[in-house]
Amino acid sequence: MIDLPRVVITGIGLTSPNGNSLAEYRKNLLAGVSGVQPYEIRYFGKTLAGICDFDALRYQKRKEVRRGTRAGSIAVFCANETLADAGIDLETRDRNRVGIYIGTTEHGNVETEAEVFNISQYGYDCSYWSHHHNPRTVANNPAGEVTLNLGIGGPAYCLGGACAAGNLGLIQGMQMLQLGQVDLALAGGVSESIHTFGIFASFNAQGALATHADPTKASRPFDTARNGIVVAEGGALYTLERLDDALARGARIYGEVVGHSVNSDATDFVLPDSDGQNRCMRLALESAGIEPGEIDVLSTHATSTPSGDTVECRAVREVFGDEPRVHVNNTKSFIGHAMGAAGALELAGNLPSFEDGVVHATINVDDLDPECDLRGLVLNEPRRIGEVEHVMNMSFGMLGINSAVVVKKYHRG
């Protein structure tokens, strides 16, 4: 086993449909406040979405917002917020030693659809196609916009990992710190997906888009009446540092990233696979050097689709069985599926459990599906469980990509 430096989380910047800071987000997760609202988008029409209301102009000029992308604005907001939260002033740092690693489910659909609509207003004359299209749609756009905003000169790029991407950003940031390539990593995931009609139309065509008379009840993982995904936007970026660096500057430490894994089902374009998810969870536990029974909070990926939740619950049951310490929850029931940001946001909402000993619930479960009746499921109301030592966060995506991260409470001294 290679002896790699330990990596800790020292800052969190986020925007979620139900909060624009960790404190607001956590408060609403504990209070059962949803961020899902009625929404309407070109061509597709009326639907539901998790919509963020952060102030983009807090860190960007109006021209930068106009020129860039929504994903770029989300990333810039989260990057500035995470640095402020970590108490880091880049003026005192070598900006060439700062890296940015942002997971995205997809990027470019929003901007391409907008340009096609734009030229449709001019008889599809391509001379009306914007010169901004390429810089807006390149896969590194969100990370690149952060470098421009903060003058960061280190390695900065995005990781395309479908809905497993939020964990990928975190894992990449950790590895770059361990390899000594950077001294500071801003890592996580972002999503602008609610601004592409295609994602709604495609989920709808697949029979996987949620509907409900009450928007706040539409995302209901594990409920018998669940009928699909609520698409959401958002982002979360973590400040990651090597433990020694964090200790040297007296940083507050949210937790230590002790385990992770990424694997592939290799079975289907869309359908998840219990075996692949099972392997992913076991690999993450193995890399953390712990047993399943040592996980206190298990943050599920469940998206509120009839088949996806069942498949995931089977995998969780196989790995964790009846372990008494494991508590299971789900964040999408509050905010919908934030795609590339999902993994990063879902982990963030659970990290305060290290301090308050409370597990936030899975809301909207009125009639628990027997196939999703996992031991330790925290339903509808948060539960105080006392000391929390390990949080495990799972994120899965299309084409069979699975990711898991294990974060451990940091004990000083």
Partner 1 sequence: MTPEEVVVAIKDIIQTIAPDEEVDGLDMNERLRDQIELDSMDFLDIVMELRKLYGVQVPEEDYKELGTLQGCVDYLGPKLADKELHCASRA
Query: Which residues here bind partner 1, judged by CB under 8 A?
Result: 61-63, 66-67, 122, 127-128, 130-132
Nearest to 393 by CA among 255, 275, 194: 255
d(CA 22, CA 63): 28
Q: Which is nearer to partner 1, 27 or 132 (CB)?
A: 132
Provide CB contacts within 8 A for 320, sequence distance 6+.
Answer: 292, 293, 295, 298, 326, 328, 374, 375, 376
Which run of H or of E encompasses 405? strand 401-408
Active-site annotation holds for 411 = no
Question: Choosing from 327, 337, 360, 390, which is the catalytic residue?
Answer: 337
Tracing tokens 């470098």 back to the chain, one arrives at 147
Quote the least distance from Cβ 132 to partner 1, whole Å: 7
Which run of H or of E encompasses 281? helix 274-288
Listed in sequence order, the DSSP H helices in 104-183 are: 109-120, 133-137, 141-150, 165-178
Residues making up the chain, counted from first to last: 413
Question: Choosing from 78, 158, 163, 313, which is the catalytic residue?
Answer: 163
End-to-end CA distance of the chain: 25
Q: Which is nearer to partner 1, 62 or 412 (CB)?
A: 62
d(CA 408, CA 392): 9
Quote the least distance from Cβ 72 to partner 1, whole Å: 15
Q: Which is nearer to partner 1, 124 or 128 (CB)?
A: 128
Quote the least distance from Cβ 63 to partner 1, whole Å: 5
Active-site annotation holds for 107 = no
Q: Which is nearer to partner 1, 64 or 318 (CB)?
A: 64
Q: Which is nearer to partner 1, 122 or 124 (CB)?
A: 122
Active-site annotation holds for 163 = yes
Question: Choosing from 107, 195, 260, 301, which is the catalytic residue?
Answer: 301
Q: Which is nearer to partner 1, 93 or 132 (CB)?
A: 132
Q: Which is nearer to partner 1, 47 or 60 (CB)?
A: 60
Query: What 3-state DSSP class applies to 85?
Result: helix
Listed in sequence order, the DSSP H helices in 290-380 are: 306-320, 332-335, 342-350, 353-356
Q: Do 378 and 199 touch, CB atoms closer than 8 A?
A: no
d(CA 277, CA 339): 18
Nearest to 188 by CA among 345, 83, 334, 335: 345
Quote the least distance from Cβ 217 to partner 1, whole Å: 39
Which run of H or of E encompasses 76? helix 70-86
- The amino acid at 335: I
Quote the least distance from Cβ 284 to partner 1, whole Å: 44
d(CA 70, CA 16): 14
Alpha-carbon Rg for the chain in angstroms? 20
Tokens of 375: 């031991």
Quote the least distance from Cβ 118 to partner 1, whole Å: 9
Query: Which residue numbers are catalytic?
Result: 163, 301, 337
